[in-house]
């Protein structure tokens, strides 16, 4: 088999890239280790920046999002129960975010892939990028027990944090930067109306809490928890009690309780790998970087990566210029680091750090009070939250 671009992984990065290349007339094949139901079923964040909304529209995938997504012009912060609003639209000259679950985005991408002939091989075992330093790279894998090989011009490693692509870059070339946080997020989904029409990020003495949603009838809530905690120890009742406490009396009183139908604990990590290209292999999305979920930048960063990567690849195939290909890593990393900084800062501002003392907590409370009273500070938060421009 032969194609122009072999894409490893059919998460948001791989699927968006597949669609972008298809639209531009560049041949690509996506190789995914799991099946569609698995990839689509993973519960992830659900706040789309303008860049992501624009891409959905540009790919003619925006119909359901426009109908079912919730446009948010503001978000809320809480400091020990005192909730205040950041009017993002007013502060940024009209920018908003769209609340539309990653699972819905994935469904739209998969449905359209089938209809538009974006090629995806599911259940591809033992996928490996080969000869990435040569100008004739390939990807090998096993399918139903049969060895397969795809010759290509470029490989896009869109296979997430645990994928094989990053590992194909020699260790003396690769540099990694990492921060592991001493807590996780315990999240639930419940078929109940959300406590507010916008999100609430709450810093409470007992730890962080987040009120989010998937629709006017489906809520997504999180509380910070210890990394050693067990999901079995968190009955729904215990979760609701702790959430209400951390959101404070006003917002807590508006929480409507109900049985959870999903409950899981996720660790928090900041991670960046440099460079995002080696030879004929490019990294995009979680394969190259991870952000803690505070601020919901994960999928949006995967999207900005593949927008830049598709532009570079199209330039190569259509104009015969490698300027974009050569600039991809530096261009993508410039935006990645800014989103890393914001996600790290927002996490540091809102979480309880078990290893820190009363002084650090006072600094958080003072910073929240400063943000509440300062338009300049609110603009800084708002422009990062709605998403920085692609440059």
Residues of this chain that interact with ligand PHB (CB under 6 A) are 45-47, 199, 212, 220, 293-296
Residue 158 backbone dihedrals phi, psi, to 5 degrees: -115, 35
Pick the closer one to ligand APR by CB: 73 or 293.
Answer: 293
Pick the closer one to ligand PHB by CB: 187 or 279.
Answer: 187
* Measured CA distances, 218 to 60, 161, 192, 195, 226 (Å): 26, 29, 5, 10, 26
For the CB of residue 181, give the shortest distance to ligand APR in the complex, in Å. 15
Our CA angle for 381, 219, 51, nearest 5°, is 40
Regarding 302 and contact with ligand APR (CB under 6 A), the answer is yes
Regarding 324 and contact with ligand APR (CB under 6 A), the answer is no
For the CB of residue 14, give the shortest distance to ligand APR in the complex, in Å. 6
Count helices and strands in the chain by DSSP H and E runs: 12, 20
Q: Which does 2 bind (CB under 5 to 8 A by kind): ligand APR, ligand PHB, none?
A: none
Taking CB under 6 A as the criterion, the residue among 18, 73, 101, 160 binding ligand APR is 160
For the CB of residue 297, give the shortest distance to ligand APR in the complex, in Å. 8
Helices (H), 117-188: none
Given a contact cutoff of 8 angstroms between Cβ atoms, the answer to whether 317 and 173 are in contact is: no
Scan for tokens 């952000």, then name that residue: 291
231-290: which residues touch ligand APR (CB under 6 A)? 285-287
Taking CB under 6 A as the criterion, the residue among 5, 6, 7, 10 binding ligand APR is 10
d(CA 207, CA 340): 22
Given a contact cutoff of 8 angstroms between Cβ atoms, the answer to whether 298 and 223 are in contact is: no
d(CA 318, CA 61): 25
Closest CA to 49 of 334, 386, 295, 341: 386
Q: Which does 294 bind (CB under 5 to 8 A by kind): ligand APR, ligand PHB, none?
A: ligand PHB
For the CB of residue 211, give the shortest distance to ligand PHB in the complex, in Å. 9
Q: Which does 13 bind (CB under 5 to 8 A by kind): ligand PHB, ligand APR, none?
A: ligand APR
Regarding 11 and contact with ligand APR (CB under 6 A), the answer is yes
Residue 162 backbone dihedrals phi, psi, to 5 degrees: -95, 15
**179 sits in which H/E element:** strand 175-190
For the CB of residue 332, give the shortest distance to ligand PHB in the complex, in Å. 22
Q: What is the set of active-site residues?
A: 72, 201, 293, 297, 385
Site track 98-137 with ligand APR (rule: CB under 6 A), x = hit? --------------------------x--x----------
d(CA 111, CA 94): 31
Regarding 49 and contact with ligand APR (CB under 6 A), the answer is no
Taking CB under 6 A as the criterion, the residue among 3, 7, 9, 83 binding ligand APR is 9
Q: Which does 220 bind (CB under 5 to 8 A by kind): ligand PHB, ligand APR, none?
A: ligand PHB
d(CA 349, CA 202): 10
# chain residues binding ligand APR, by CB under 6 A: 27
Closest CA to 11 of 161, 120, 159: 159
DSSP 231: G
DSSP 261: E
Residue ranges binding ligand APR (CB under 6 A): 8-14, 31-34, 39, 44, 124, 127, 158-160, 162-164, 285-287, 298-299, 302
């Amino acid at each position: 088999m032969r194609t122009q671009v072999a894409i490893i992984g059919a998460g948001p990065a791989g699927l968006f890239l597949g669609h972008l290349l298809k639209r531009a007339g560049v041949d690509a094949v996506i190789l995914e280790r799991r099946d569609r139901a698995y990839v689509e079923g993973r519960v992830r964040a659900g706040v789309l920046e303008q860049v992501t909304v624009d891409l959905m529209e540009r790919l003619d995938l925006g119909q359901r999002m426009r109908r079912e997504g919730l446009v948010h012009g503001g978000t809320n912060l809480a400091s020990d129960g005192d909730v205040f609003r950041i009017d993002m639209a007013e502060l940024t000259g009209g920018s908003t975010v769209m609340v539309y679950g990653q699972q819905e985005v994935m469904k739209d991408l998969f449905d359209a892939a089938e209809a538009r002939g974006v090629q995806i091989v599911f259940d591809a075992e033992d996928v490996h990028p080969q000869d990435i330093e040569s100008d004739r790279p390939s990807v090998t894998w096993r399918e139903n027990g049969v060895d397969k090989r795809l010759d290509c011009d470029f490989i896009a490693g869109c296979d997430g944090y645990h994928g094989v692509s990053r590992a194909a870059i020699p260790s003396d070339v690769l540099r990694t930067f990492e921060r592991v946080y001493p807590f996780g997020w315990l999240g639930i989904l419940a078929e109940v109306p959300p406590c507010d029409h916008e999100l609430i990020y709450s810093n409470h003495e007992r730890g962080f809490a987040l009120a989010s949603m998937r629709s006017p009838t489906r809520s997504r809530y999180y509380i910070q928890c210890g990394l050693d905690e067990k999901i079995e120890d968190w009955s729904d009742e215990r979760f609701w009690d702790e959430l209400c406490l951390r959101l404070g009396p006003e917002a807590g009183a508006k929480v409507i309780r109900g049985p959870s139908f999903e409950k899981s604990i996720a660790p928090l990590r900041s991670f960046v790998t440099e460079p995002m290209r080696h030879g004929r292999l490019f990294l995009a999305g979680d394969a190259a970087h991870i952000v803690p979920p505070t601020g919901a930048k994960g999928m949006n960063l995967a999207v900005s990566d593949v927008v830049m990567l598709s532009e570079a690849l199209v330039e190569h195939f259509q104009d015969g210029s490698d300027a974009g290909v050569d600039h991809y890593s530096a261009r993508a990393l410039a935006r990645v680091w800014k989103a890393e900084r914001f996600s790290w800062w927002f996490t540091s501002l809102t979480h309880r750090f078990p290893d820190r003392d009363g002084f650090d907590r006072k600094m958080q409370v003072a910073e929240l009070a400063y943000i509440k009273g300062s338009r300049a500070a609110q603009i800084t938060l708002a422009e990062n939250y709605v998403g920085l421009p692609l440059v």
